[in-house]
Amino acid sequence: MPIMPPAEPLHDLDPALAASGDVARFWRVERYAGLDCLAARFRRHAYARHTHETYAIAGIVAGCETFWRRGVQNYAPAGSLCLVSPDEAHDGAPHGGYFVYRTLYPSAALMREVAEDVAGRTLPRAPWFAPSVVEDPALVAELAALHDALGAADHGAGTLETDERLLAFLGRLIARHGDLDGAPRPATGERRGVGRARAFIDARFAEEIGLDGLAAEAGLSRTHLIRAFKAETGLTPHAYQVDRRVRAARRLLIAGEPPAAVATEAGFYDQSHLNRVFKARMGITPGAYAALAA
C-alpha cells in the first residue's frame, strides 16, 4: 500500500520553524478525551528529551527520524511506526536531511479500553510497546488516512466513521505490536527512593528544589540519586522537574490561561523562558498551542 505524504500546505504555527524549512500542524480532537494530533515536516528542529502523559504513536511517511528511547538510539525510515508509552523519556531529530510524520497521542485509558477489546478480557494495565520502531507500511498508510479524517472537518468522513477508523487502527496496532501483560519490575530499595523523589518533584514542580533535600527525601546520596533517577526515568532530577513544568503549562494553556500567567504559575522565570523550553519539547510555541483551546 503506498504511503501518501501529508496534504500541503501544512499549517505553519511558528514562523521561526518555517524560516528553516520546518512546518507543523498541531490540533486536538476533544471527543477522544482530548486526543492531540501532530503533522509535521522537520529539517532542522530537534526535540529536547521529554515525556508525555499519553502514548506517542508516529508514522514516518517520508525521510528518516532518529530518537532516543530506553537507552537506545533508534532510526525510523519511511514506512516505520515509532512507539513510545506514557512517561517514557525520548527525543527526536531528522536523520539524513528531514522527516515527515503523523502522530497521535492517545490516553492510557483509551489504549487500555481498546486492548481489553483485543484481548477479550480485563487487563491489569494499559498495553506497553517493547519495540521503539517497527516496519509496518500498511499501518503507517492507515494512520496517515486516519489523520486526514481527524484533521479536516470537510474531509467527508462522519463522526461515526472516524470513530470506527480510530478504534480499528489502535486495535490493529495493539494486536500486532503491543505487550498486554508486561509485568512491572519489582520495587527495589533504589527504585522506591527514586519513586519518593519523583513524588516530591511532582508535588512541588513549580518551586525551587535543592538536591540535598531531594536526596534526603529519597534516602540516597546526591550522586547516587542522580545516577539512579536517570537510569529509572531517562531524565536527571532537574530535567524531570522541567518536564513536569511543561506538562503543567500544557494543561493551563488548554484551559485558556494566557502564556504570561502560565509561565509564572508553572514555575518558569518568565514568558521567554517558557517559550524556549516549550518549543524545544513540543515543536511549537505556547501561543500556538494555546490556539487549540480557542
List Cα–Cα distances, 219 to 7, 101, 158, 197, 268, in angstroms.
53, 43, 55, 9, 28
Number of domains in the chain: 2
| pLDDT 10s digits, 54-98 | 999 999 999 999 999 989 999 999 999 999 999 999 999 999 999
Same domain, 211 and 121: no
Q: Which of the four pLDDT bands, split at 50, 70 and 90, describes residue 264?
A: very high
Structural domain range at position 23: 15-177
Which CATH number do you get for residue 119?
2.60.120.10
What pLDDT was estimated at residue 24? 87
Final residue before a domain boundary, out of 177, 207, 224: 177
Residue type at position 250:
R
List Cα–Cα distances, 277 to 243, 249, 273, in angstroms.
9, 11, 6
Same domain, 155 and 21: yes
Integer Cα distance of 16 and 22 in angstroms: 8
- Predicted structure pTM score: 0.87
40 DSSP 8-state letter: E
Average pLDDT over residues 259-267: 95
| pLDDT 10s digits, 13-53 | 455 666 677 888 888 888 888 899 999 999 999 999 999 99
| pLDDT 10s digits, 146-165 | 998 888 654 445 688 888 99
Same domain, 198 and 120: no
Same domain, 223 and 148: no
What pLDDT was estimated at residue 158? 67
Q: Which of the four pLDDT bands, split at 50, 70 and 90, describes residue 188?
A: low
Domain presence at residue 10: no
Same domain, 30 and 117: yes
Same domain, 24 and 135: yes
Same domain, 93 and 163: yes
What pLDDT was estimated at residue 275? 94
Same domain, 161 and 227: no
Nearest to 286 by CA among 165, 228, 257, 220: 257
Same domain, 153 and 236: no
Integer Cα distance of 50 and 240 in angstroms: 8
Same domain, 76 and 113: yes
Q: Evaluate if residue 3 carries a pLDDT over 80.
A: no
Same domain, 166 and 206: no
Integer Cα distance of 243 and 48 in angstroms: 10
Domain presence at residue 3: no
Domain presence at residue 108: yes
Same domain, 217 and 270: yes
Domain presence at residue 184: no
